[in-house]
Amino acid sequence: MKPTMDLSNPIRDLKRSGFLLFLLLCVGLNTGCSYLVKNEHQRLYSMAKYGDDRFIRVDHYWVHYVEVGEGDPLFLVPGAFSTYRDWNRLIPLLSKTYRVLALDYLGVGDSDKPTSGFNYTIEEQADLIVKIAERLQIPKFHLAGVSYGGVIALNLSTRYPEKVNRVVCIEGGVIKPERLPHQYKKAILGVPLIGHFIISAIRSGLFDRITARVVMGKVWETLSEEERKEILEIISHNNKTASQGSWSRIARTFKNSKEFVEEVKSLKTPVLYLYGKSSGFRKMTEMNVELFNKHLPHIEIISFEDGIHNLELQKPREVAERMLEFFNRDGFQNQQKVFPFNP
């Protein structure tokens, strides 16, 4: 009788090898998605295109920002999942008149990305900016934010009116509809293995061009090759510093943050609100415009007929011009304007 081959050991070994490979993959994904959780050595993914890279320690966290220009201080806060580079197309224009401080808020870029002790709420980010200003001995400042950064700017000026001269908010929403675009990020980024895998893919650069086209929408086709290259570089650098832990928490920020709809109705700080009528977030912006018109008629509102959500990327010169005019003005009035698209 021929001896039978015992396949149990090879199969068992194969299963063990597969399990070990799976564990190694998980470890690799976890490591790959933890970009500079603690940046004690003040490492930079890349040097600033404009201005000087700086770090400041606040509440045991290292916060990275870029400083350029002279004059009255102006803090710039980027949108969700974005770095200070979202303002790169405006920084050369704004820094001619102002001392620009473009922030990587906690959770993005080269700033710390704490996995505990910080919940990435709107009010926590606002508190941190106030503490940064105090550490830099800046008693009062102008403030501009886009999207998530715009909500932070409105929250800060509502709770710390003595700190802020004027605010520019690009499509920030104090109130929001039941569903927002890209809701899937909140659902899947927090799932350990899936979230890590997605962030790893984002950091690999494979989806940079796709992300750029999604962010810019139909406007992408109207851009010159130079403009596409510039925007692609901004988005690529944003993606390279992604972290699953911080991004998943930022995705849940509206759920975790305290609502301040009633508090904002007492806002006295001069505000310029910019939004695009072709924005994917139009429903949200229109709800907020209605709130402002009803309770805060002093807020100046400007809409761009062809404008998208990220106006700072689409229309840097037009946005910079309106910001500078607003900051330099002695008085202001509520206005509703529509600007045609000028390619």
Domain count, the chain: 1
Give residue 35's pLDDT.
60
Give residue 100's pLDDT.
98
Q: How much of the chain is helix, strand and coil, in % rounded to 5?
A: 45, 15, 40
The pLDDT tens digits of the residues spanning 247-289 come to 989 988 888 899 999 999 999 999 999 999 999 999 999 999 9
Is residue 26 one of the residues assigned to a domain?
no
More confident residue, 250 or 13: 250
Is residue 94 one of the residues assigned to a domain?
yes
Give residue 184's pLDDT.
56
Sign of CA dihedral 235, 314, 88, 160: negative
In this structure, how many other beta carbons lie within 10 angstroms of the beta carbon of residue 236? 17
Range of the domain at 176: 52-180+260-339
Is residue 99 one of the residues assigned to a domain?
yes
Give residue 124's pLDDT.
97
Report how far residue 42's alpha carbon sits from residue 15's, in angstroms, rounded to the nearest whole number.
43
Report how far residue 177's alpha carbon sits from residue 182's, in angstroms, rounded to the nearest whole number.
13
Give residue 332's pLDDT.
40
Q: What is the mean pLDDT of residues 47-59?
A: 96
Task: Specify whether the CB–CB gap between 202 and 239 falls below 8 A.
Answer: yes
Q: Which amino acid is at 43?
A: R
Coil, strand or helix at 337:
strand
Give the lowest-confidence range in 17-26, 146-155, 189-198, 220-229: 17-26
Report how far residue 57's alpha carbon sits from residue 45's, in angstroms, rounded to the nearest whole number.
18
Coil, strand or helix at 138:
coil
Is residue 168 one of the residues assigned to a domain?
yes
The pLDDT tens digits of the residues spanning 84-101 come to 999 999 999 999 999 999
Report how far residue 37's alpha carbon sits from residue 110's, in angstroms, rounded to the nearest whole number.
9
For the cut 50, the answer to whether the pLDDT of residue 23 exceeds it is: no
pLDDT-derived band of residue 153, with 50, 70 and 90 as boundaries? very high
pLDDT-derived band of residue 134, with 50, 70 and 90 as boundaries? very high
Give residue 331's pLDDT.
46
Task: Specify whether the CB–CB gap between 176 and 284 falls below 8 A.
Answer: yes
pLDDT-derived band of residue 304, with 50, 70 and 90 as boundaries? very high
Is residue 173 one of the residues assigned to a domain?
yes
Is residue 194 one of the residues assigned to a domain?
no
Is residue 270 one of the residues assigned to a domain?
yes
Task: Specify whether the CB–CB gap between 281 and 274 falls below 8 A.
Answer: no
Q: What is the mean pLDDT of residues 61-72?
A: 97
Provide the token pair at 171.
């499509």
Q: What is the mean pLDDT of residues 222-228?
A: 97
Is residue 83 one of the residues assigned to a domain?
yes
For the cut 80, the answer to whether the pLDDT of residue 5 exceeds it is: no
- What CATH number did the domain enclosing 114 receive? 3.40.50.1820
Report how far residue 165's alpha carbon sits from residue 147's, in angstroms, rounded to the nearest whole number.
20
For the cut 70, the answer to whether the pLDDT of residue 177 exceeds it is: no
